[in-house]
Amino acid sequence: MRSQGKITHWDDEKGFGFITPQDDGTAVFVHISAFTRSARRPQTGDPVSYEITQGKDGKPQAEQVRFSDQSVGKLLRSSPAVLFAVLFICFLLVSVYFNRLSWLALVAYGAASVITFIAYAWDKSAAQRGKWRTAESTLHFMSLAGGWPGALAAQRLLRHKSSKQKFLVVYWLTVFLNVAAIGYFVWTGGTYPV
C-alpha cells in the first residue's frame, strides 16, 4: 500500500533525506536510489508517494518513491518563465514564417539550447562528484549566445542553478539581451547573424 508524504529534509550531495507522512507519523529514511522514473532531483518540500520497507538496520525506509507532481507537463506549466520561453519560441516561428528571420536562427537556437542543457547537466554531475566545475561565466555566455531556453529547461528539470539569486540575476540579464537583440533584427528587418 502506497503512502503519501512530503520530503522534509534532503541532502542532495549525499543523496538521502527523510519523508514525513501526511498523517504526521514518524519520518522515514529515503535514498536517491528509491526514486523511480524521475528526470529531476528531489528537494525539500516535494510531495511524494512511496512504499515502506524495512531497511538493513531494521528501521522503516521509503522505496519506489514517486513525485506527486511526477508529470513533466505539470512541472513545466508551473512557471511563468517557461511560458515566456514558449512565447519566445512561437515568436521565432512566426518571424521565420513571415521571412523576418532566417530558419537558420531556429536551428542555432535549438543547437545552442541542447549544448547549454548538456553543459548544465555536466556541471551538476561534476558538483555531485566533487570534480572540476564549469565556470558560471561560461554558462552565462552560452545563455547569451542563444542557449537560454536550454538553460531554463536545465534549471527546471535538473534543479541546477535554480536557487542562487546572484546567478539568476545575471542569467535573466543574458536572456533580456538575447531577446532584445533578436527583437531588434526582426523589427528592423535586418539579417540575424546566423
pLDDT digits (tens, 9 = 90+) for 74-123: 444 446 888 899 999 999 999 999 999 889 989 999 999 999 999 999 99
Residues 92, 89: Cα–Cα separation, whole Å: 5
Higher pLDDT, 57 or 19: 19
Which top CATH class is 3-67? mainly beta
Would you say 23 and 54 are in contact if contact means Cβ atoms under 8 Å apart? no
Would you say 28 and 6 are in contact if contact means Cβ atoms under 8 Å apart? no
Q: Report pLDDT for 191.
A: 52
Nearest to 25 by CA among 54, 51, 3: 3
Residues 72, 140: Cα–Cα separation, whole Å: 25
pTM score, whole prediction: 0.61
Is residue 193 exposed (0-12), middle (13-18) or buried (19+ Cβ within 10 Å)?
Answer: exposed
User: Tens digit of pLDDT for each residue in 36-79?
Assistant: 765 577 888 888 888 889 888 888 899 988 887 644 444 444 46
Q: Report pLDDT for 110.
A: 94
Quickly count: other Cβ atoms within 10 Å of residue 68's Cβ.
12
Per-domain boundaries in the chain: 3-67, 72-188
pLDDT band at 125 (very low <50, low <70, confident <90, very high): confident
